[in-house]
Every structure is written in C-alpha cells, then in structure tokens.
Amino acid sequence: MSHVYRLVISCPDQVGIVAKVAEYIAGQGGSIVEANHHTDANNGWFFMRHEILASSLNMSLHDFEKGFQQVADAFDMEWYISDSEKPKKIALFASKESHCLADLLHRWHENELPGEVVCVIANHDDLRSMVEWYKVPFHHVPVTPDTKPQAFAETEAIVAQYDADVIVLARYMQILPPQMCRDYASQVINIHHSFLPSFVGAKPYHQASERGVKLIGATCHYVTEDLDEGPIIEQDVIRVNHSKTIEDLKRLGRDVEKTVLARGLRYHLEDRVLIHGNKTVVFDS
Amino acid sequence: MSHVYRLVISCPDQVGIVAKVAEYIAGQGGSIVEANHHTDANNGWFFMRHEILASSLNMSLHDFEKGFQQVADAFDMEWYISDSEKPKKIALFASKESHCLADLLHRWHENELPGEVVCVIANHDDLRSMVEWYKVPFHHVPVTPDTKPQAFAETEAIVAQYDADVIVLARYMQILPPQMCRDYASQVINIHHSFLPSFVGAKPYHQASERGVKLIGATCHYVTEDLDEGPIIEQDVIRVNHSKTIEDLKRLGRDVEKTVLARGLRYHLEDRVLIHGNKTVVFDS
Amino acid sequence: MSHVYRLVISCPDQVGIVAKVAEYIAGQGGSIVEANHHTDANNGWFFMRHEILASSLNMSLHDFEKGFQQVADAFDMEWYISDSEKPKKIALFASKESHCLADLLHRWHENELPGEVVCVIANHDDLRSMVEWYKVPFHHVPVTPDTKPQAFAETEAIVAQYDADVIVLARYMQILPPQMCRDYASQVINIHHSFLPSFVGAKPYHQASERGVKLIGATCHYVTEDLDEGPIIEQDVIRVNHSKTIEDLKRLGRDVEKTVLARGLRYHLEDRVLIHGNKTVVFDS
Amino acid sequence: MSHVYRLVISCPDQVGIVAKVAEYIAGQGGSIVEANHHTDANNGWFFMRHEILASSLNMSLHDFEKGFQQVADAFDMEWYISDSEKPKKIALFASKESHCLADLLHRWHENELPGEVVCVIANHDDLRSMVEWYKVPFHHVPVTPDTKPQAFAETEAIVAQYDADVIVLARYMQILPPQMCRDYASQVINIHHSFLPSFVGAKPYHQASERGVKLIGATCHYVTEDLDEGPIIEQDVIRVNHSKTIEDLKRLGRDVEKTVLARGLRYHLEDRVLIHGNKTVVFDS
C-alpha cells in the first residue's frame, strides 16, 4: 500500500469547491490516487475525500495543512487530513463470544486491517489466551449492575492509557453509559446482529425466528445514546428458511456479523465514512 | 410440466407418519416426483408435501382421496390434494403503478406462471389498455373514503363472479376491510416495498432513506387484519448507498418487488406454502 | 430528473487534470451534480465523468465545448459531452424469446429508461403485436444461413434509417457479421445467459447443469468480433441447486438476464461506461 | 445438537422406496428429525437422507444396520449410516496463507464444526505457532519438485497415522499426485479461488482482473485427477468493480473463500453431500 494522505471535507455546497481544492492539491504537486465527491441535494451539503500520494507533495504535510486552511475558510469546511502511515489505534471490546474478535485479530495479524490493535477490554476472562497469543494486552473489566459506574470509569481509563482512536464493540453485550457515548461520539463502532431497523434490542435472532423472516442480517453502526439508532456504516444479509433453528440462525448470522463489522471498521480506518446527521456517506470507490 | 397431484399435509408430529403416507401412495402405484418434510421441533408440528405423478396412480383421484382419509384420520391431519391441471384462478388487484402487474401478466402470457389470471381489478383506470392487450377482463372499481364499503362489496362480487382462488395485491395501495381479510384468509398475497418488519406502513422508501440503510428490500406476505404483519412468504434485498435518491430507491426497489412477488406467488400457486401460526413453511426443494 | 450535461474524459494520468477540468467548469458557472474519477495504476490511464447542471452554465453548450477543447488538448484527452435532453436512440434486436424485450419496453414506457426506443428488429414475427402495443415500429427481418448477408444489409439499413445510437441484442440469438461489429464498435450491447467467462457459446444453461454449478448468472457486455469476449458492463447471479432442471435454470435465469441487461443498458445510456482495452470503467456513484 | 444417525441412500428410482425405508425406520421406533429426497429425472437415480434420533431406536445401531440390509438389497442401494457422535476426523492441509486455516480452526475450537481436526500438514512452517495454540499437531512436510514423491508418501503416512476421514486443502497450493486423488476419492475437499468453471488453474484473481468481471467468487469442490474439474459442493461470489486492484480482489476473495469452504466442509461432515457422476446433491433442508 502506498503512503497517502487522506483529505476529508464536508461543507455547504456551492460552485467552485472542487476546482479550488483540486487546484490547491495540484499546486503542491499532489498526485491524486483516489477521489470521491457527493452532493446531498436534499440538504445542500457537499462531501469530498481525496487520497494524495505522500511522496508527490513538494512540501511537508504541516505546510500543506497550513496552506489548505485558507481554502477551507473560504468554503466554511469541516475537514481533516489523516496519514496512512499513522494508522488509527483500535481498542476492541469483547465479552464471551469470540467470532468477531478472532476475525479482527486475525485480519490485523495478517496486515489486512489498516489500523493498530492496541488492547482488548472484556467483561469476561474467557478470551484472554486467544488475545495474548496475538501479543495484544488483555484487560478483564467485569461489569455488574452494581459496579457499572466504576467499571466504565476503569474502562475509559484503559482506553485513555492506550490513546485509542476508535473503540470497536465486537459483540461486547454491554450498553455504554450515555456520557461515554457522548465523549467518544463517532469513535465507537458496534455490530448489531440484525438488519436494522428490524429487531432492535435483545435477542434479535429469536425475534427473527418468531417473525419468520426469510433473510437475516447484521448492521455495523456508530454508537449513540439511542440504542441501535446510530448512523449505519454497513449491512448485509443471508438467506434462511423455515428449517433453520435459532441455533442455525446464530451460526449463520455469525458469518454475516464478522464480515460486516470488518468491512465497516475498514471504511472507518481509511477515513471513508463521513457522518452527517444520523446518516453516513461511505466512499468505497 | 408433468401432470401431478400435490398432497399437502400438516399434523402433530409422531413416529410413523411418513411410513404410512408413503405406504399408501406406493400402494396405489404412486410415483413420487418431489417430496418434502419438515418437523418444527418447537411446537411438535409436522409438515409434508408430495408431488405424485398423476399417470402413475392405479385409481381415480377421487378414490385416492377417499382412501387417504383413513390415513389422515389416524394422524389428525389437515390435508388437501391439488391437481396441477386445475391451476388456481388469480384475481390481480392494481392501482396506477404497473411494474408488478406487467411482470405477472407477462409471465402468465409466457406460460411461466402455474395459474390462470382471470381478472384485474383496479381503483384507477390507467392500466386498462395494457391489461386488455393480454385479453384479461379489466374492472375499474374506484375507492374513495366515502364509498369504501360499496367499493369493496363490488370488488368481492367480482372476485366471486370469477371464482378466484387467490387475490394478488400487485401494488394495490388500498387496505382491505377486516371482514374481507377474514373471508379470504390465506388467499390474499401482498407485496410490501420494504424488508419487513422494517418500515411498515406508508412510504417505506422515504423511511429507508431517512434511516440511511445500506440495503433496501421487498416482502411478499399473506394479508391479515394486522397491516404488514401477516405470514412472510418471500423476501429479498438490493444494495444501495448514500448517492441514491428516493427516486433511485423506488426504481431499484421496483425490480426487487416484482421478482419477490413473482417468486412468492409461484410458491403459493404450486402449493409450496404451508401456514402455521404467523409463519410459513415454504417447500422449494 | 434534472437537465444535465455529461462530460466524459479519458487520458494519460498526470498531476493537475482534475484541477484544470474543475476550474474550467467552475469558470463557466457550472454546478456539478455528480463527479467520478478513476486512475488505473496498472496502465497510467485516467477516467473522469461529470454531470453538470445545464441551467447553471453561463454560456451555450456549443461555446462550453469549444472552450473545453483547449483543456482537452493540453492533456491529450479523449472526451465528449452528452445532453440528457437528447437521449440516445435505441434499436432493440429480438428473436422469439420475449422476457428481455418486454422488460425493456415496459421500462421505457414508464419513463424509467433514459433513452428512446426507436424500433425493434426481429428475425421472427412472433413479438410484433406486443411491440406494436407500445407503438414502436416492428421490422421482421428473417435470417437464414443463405440470406445472411442480405439480411444484415437490410438490418443495418433499418438501423441507419432510425439513426439509432445503440443496438441492444435482447436475446437476439444471431451472431452479427464481423464488419457490423466493427462499424458499431462500443454501440452494440448483448446479454449472454451465463456468468462469463463460464459457458461461452451455445446453450449455457445446459452447460451449467452439466457442470453442476451452484449459482447461475448473466452478463451484459459490448459486442466485438470475438463472440462473448467483449468488455463486460454488468453481471449478476442467482443461487440454484441439484433439484433444478434445465427448464428451472432457464426460468430463474430469465430474471437475472432481464435485470442485468436493464442495468447495463442504463449505465450505457447515461454515459457511465468508459471502455479501455477490453475492460470497462462503470461509474455508478 | 441431538444424537442422530444419518442414513444416506442412492439407488435407481422406482415406486415404493420411500415407503419401505420409512416403514423400516418406523418399525424400529425411529423418530425422523430431518428427511430429504431427490429424484434425478435425467438419469433415473434416487437420493435420500434421513436423520434419525438415536435415542428413539428400540435396537442397537448394529442391529438396525443388519436389518436394513434387506431393504437395501431389494432396491439395489448404495448406502451407509453415520453416527453424529462419531464425528469425521479432519486433516487440514495448508501452505503459507492462513485465512482458511484460521477460520476452520476457530470454528472447530468453538464447537461449530461437526468434525474433529486431528492434524495440520503444511509445506511451510509459517503457521505452526497458530496451529499449536489450538493444540493441534502440526506437521511440516516441505514439497519441492525433486522431493514430491517422498513428500507425498510422508504426507499419506501422516494422514493414515491419524486415521483421517477427510482431507481439506485449505489453500494448500500443491497439486496432489493422481494416485492420491484416487486413493482418497470423495474424501479430499479443495477451495478454489474463483467461480468455477471460470479461471481454472493458477492466479485466478489476476485472470479475473484481466477479464474485467464484475463479480469474483470461490468454489468448494471434491478433488479429482482433473485439476479444478471435480464435483462442486458450494460456491459464492462478491461484487467488485473497476476500482479494485488485484490486491483488493485477493482481500475480498479471502472472505468468500473461507466462508464457502466452511459451508462446503460442513455439508460433507454432516453427510449432506451425495456424489453422482461429476455432480453433487447437497441436502441442506
């Protein structure tokens, strides 16, 4: 993978944005590896993402950013630049079920995940050995109804200690406290084991079996204070029929869950997801 | 397609059902073209469907049925036999949107649909010419808030006049009165333009766009008094993203709607759907 | 749908293309509705498509084109601009099978297809009545081994008479002569009833059944002199199993064929397909 | 999962098979958990699979088998009974790529795979540590052009030592010698990284990129002497487009490979796959 800078922009739409941005990039010698635009005609908002070859710039990233601030000011942009060689630090939260955690750890171990797994925090100790094989620090923080405030204080302290950029709830099975949702807004990614907005809340495979649906699914979304209501990043489904028991649904669903979570997380790690209101723009060119 | 009898059975599960049924069929020389069984372990119910080559029986269908009644009584069966040469009569209900209606009429015209379209009833007159090209009687029965009782009385009279076995709501856009839902229980098939139970009710594509889902779908289900809550026969989805407008969702959704409705209807016409409670067993071997 | 101009460009990649193009568009007041770029790193080629709101330009299309020629010359571009209010003229070629033809005619009739169907040419007369219901001229040009040259001369004359921009082989079942493939390079779209490159040539469903594949598919591609080898525009598949007969495969396959052809044709009509060598770039943002 | 016996039968089709088999099962008190039939009308062959609740039989499995032989003889059946409590022993063959191996080991570790992994044999030593974490014996048997005969003799000896019932080529990258293919006919399962019969042989993702297909896939099949030509068990695909590099295809393909292999292997382990000629019947009720 080439060393690139990712320039991510959103702003009110108007004529000339692309020209000014492209002109600025070209002016510094920037070679564009990938470019995506989107205009949301409903609310007049413009979204843009560029991958610029780092080696092509005739100046430092710092100077490039400083210079770009003028373009940004002219168009009232929200923007940032990320550096592919400074991958995001990932804290994985888990419980007892291992399929999502094992899948992400394996992808990371094989250099497939464009991020750095810095720690695993789990409310049970079951997965310690697996995590430690990957040489990733494992923190067991039990959560009980009584100890919830202390447990999440400890959890947040661990996340802070590792300076994690993104928290992934890999079937964590605990509801984060509202304050933590706000503190880490747009930084916590969950995998819900249904095709949202169907079957919010607990036991979605039981709900799916009860309703007799012919497809089951999974949803990767940002966590907000409203359970299972945050912006959706990625979804997928698999076909089932009357012969499948709830155990079958769980088994088939696990394959969808882990794939959807890995795809959604990848989009986030590569800065492909732009949040606007409760929806996402996902640039997967 | 061969001339077959379809023997469809459901009953409490117990040892020996298959043996007795198979023994009875074989005893009359019956050659089994297709056989499906299913036991629902949750509620101890057994479901079975056989296709028997008509020409292989050494007796009339009437005598075959009479003889089978003894087997059925011994196991407390609900059962029926249908004859592939007496295809079900279909009344299509439509409004202004033509995609589902055109698709079903075309399939029927090309001998792909194992049923007989006997009439179209529409609350608007727009699709008359298309329907009449297929030489299918077209009945325009307008429905307004004030005339609803009379309109549905007229509608039921037309259905009765054609002796229709199944009513297909091909984007009919009207809610059937509760009494009609009860009168035609398990005989009215609807296509809902969402992946139920997501987005029940009106304007599902607007709801889907609002929620920012990454897949949209359609659901073919039996109509009950509870709107969009009846037993699901078939579902499918298609991938979308942030760039799709509501008009795009509608366009992409139409392809899913017509395909899902045609598949669901086909299952029904071939007696592949067994309803139990609010769920279906669909034998699509 | 808004009135837009579609600016489609391909050229050797270099720094500054986007800036110059965007600058030129913005300079004439052009509001960009949709923009897509792609760089093929393997061969150093750059592809670009813009949709520009027609009403936003402060000059005529003619003057806009004249001015753009300077940008194009500087970067050695192949380019063209199309006008969404001058939809492409479509000649549909058919034989006896109606599913693709009926599907396209219906979409066009419902204003879903961004093009104008100007005529149908068929080597059998069977579908005349259906076509004429749509008020589309139907030309019956039989093709026999002996009359092939004359038949295709007549066919080409008809296409010329209607000034068609694109020929769609909607299950036409005849192989176009090499000269015609060359004359209409990148203008003839075929639907092949397999997932190419599997099962080229005749009777792909028989081949698929013979091989025991678990998915069957369809491929929409440009026609070249090499049968079934032209650039692929769109493909899709559907799941099958051992219980499906060849008749079942044909029936299931028809749904894939018509959907894939409609999608592929739509991409072409909206100038979303850029051909490079034997591959396509399809901008479906 | 309940303790079941799986009775798997294939024989020439005739009237009365189901009756006799069901009668025999019921006569011994056998409660049928799952039953599947299929008649191949092309070649007049009949296939059947029953799952019988072990605890429901009023005799030993040995006596049940002895008694069944008479039914089998009457209909010229090929048949066997497997016992879900005697899971098949699996030898996994691997090379350097870990995704399929890691996926299968993890499923096995989580009790999801209805079989027993007895050893891993690899022609490189890279994956030893991962395998040994699972407490599975790891055998490094290098294969070079010069040492091929000895290497495969050693390989076969290891398989024999563990008394393995099935060999899984989890991206093994070596071609088994013809004699070994014959010795282990219907017992060796491979995952090929393309949607066969497209792209047989080496570097299928390069071939797919070259041809410009819009979907890539994977195929799980039994290994025969004819490379990539054995009976297909399972296949699936994933959508790609022009923007995907060969590295992207490999990454996306890995997810399809591991899922398709796991599904195909599961079918085999549960005796759901019946081979006839070069095709499979897969009973996944």
pLDDT of residue C1: 73
pLDDT in tens, C128-139: 999 999 999 999
Alpha-carbon dihedral of residues C268, C270, C271, C276, nearest 10 degrees?
-40
Distance from CA of A56 to the nearest CA of C (A): 9
| Domains detected in chain A | 4-83 (3.30.70.260), 88-282 (3.40.50.170)
Q: Say if the Cβ atoms of D37 and B33 lie within 8 Å.
A: no
Query: Do residues C278 and C222 lie in contact, with contact meaning Cβ atoms separated by under 8 Å?
Result: no
Q: Say if the Cβ atoms of C25 and A32 lie within 8 Å.
A: no
pLDDT in tens, D49-77: 999 999 999 999 999 999 999 999 999 99
Kindly list the distances between the CA atom of residue C164 and the CA atoms of C6, C8, C157, in Å, as whole numbers in the listed order.
Answer: 19, 20, 11
Other CB atoms within 10 Å distance of the CB of residue C75? 17
Distance from CA of C127 to the nearest CA of B (A): 12
Mutation target to probe the C interface, by most C beta carbons within 10 A, among D48, D214, D278 is D214
Chain C residues touching residue D245 (CB < 8 angstroms): 41
Distance from CA of A165 to the nearest CA of C (A): 29
Query: Do residues C131 and C120 lie in contact, with contact meaning Cβ atoms separated by under 8 Å?
Result: yes
Q: For every one of its 285 residues, what pLDDT tens digit does chain A have, with 9 covering 90 and above?
A: 799 999 999 999 999 999 999 999 999 999 999 999 999 988 999 999 999 999 999 999 999 999 999 999 999 999 999 999 999 999 999 999 999 999 999 999 999 999 999 999 999 999 999 999 999 999 999 999 999 999 999 999 999 999 999 999 999 999 999 999 999 999 999 999 999 999 998 999 999 999 999 999 999 999 999 989 999 999 999 999 999 999 999 999 999 999 999 999 999 999 999 999 999 999 997
Cis peptide before D197 (omega within 30 of 0): yes
Instruction: Check whether B251 has a pLDDT greater than 90.
Output: yes
- If you ran DSSP here, which 8-state letter would residue B54 be given? G
Residue % of chain C over a pLDDT of 70 = 100
pLDDT of residue C277: 94
Sign of torsion, CA B197 B199 B200 B204?
negative
Distance from CA of C170 to the nearest CA of A (A): 30
The minimal CB distance from D133 to the residues A110, A133, A285 is found for A133
- Strand ranges inside chain A, DSSP E: 4-12, 32-40, 45-53, 78-83, 88-94, 115-122, 138-140, 166-169, 188-192, 215-222, 232-239, 273-276, 279-282
A-to-D residue pairs, Cβ atoms closer than 8 angstroms:
32
pLDDT of residue D227: 87
Q: Say if the Cβ atoms of D237 and C237 lie within 8 Å.
A: yes
Chain B residues touching residue A211 (CB < 8 angstroms): 196-197, 232, 278-279
Of the candidates C6, C256, C261, which has an alpha carbon nearest to the alpha carbon of residue C113?
Answer: C261
Across D17-44, average pLDDT: 95
User: B227 pLDDT band (50/70/90 cuts)?
Assistant: confident
Active-site annotation holder among A13, A228, A236, A248: A228
ipTM of the complex, rounded to two decimals: 0.95
State which H helix or E strand residue B280 sits in: strand B279-282
Q: Please give the positions of B annotated as active site.
A: 228
Active-site annotation holder among C13, C40, C228, C248: C228
Q: Please give the residue of chain D at the shortest CA–CA distance from A36.
A: D243
Instruction: Check whether D285 has a pLDDT greater than 80.
Output: no
Instruction: Check whether D192 has a pLDDT greater than 80.
Output: yes
Q: What residues in chain C have per-residue pLDDT under 70?
A: none
Chain B: touching chains (3 or more CB pairs < 8 Å): A, C, D
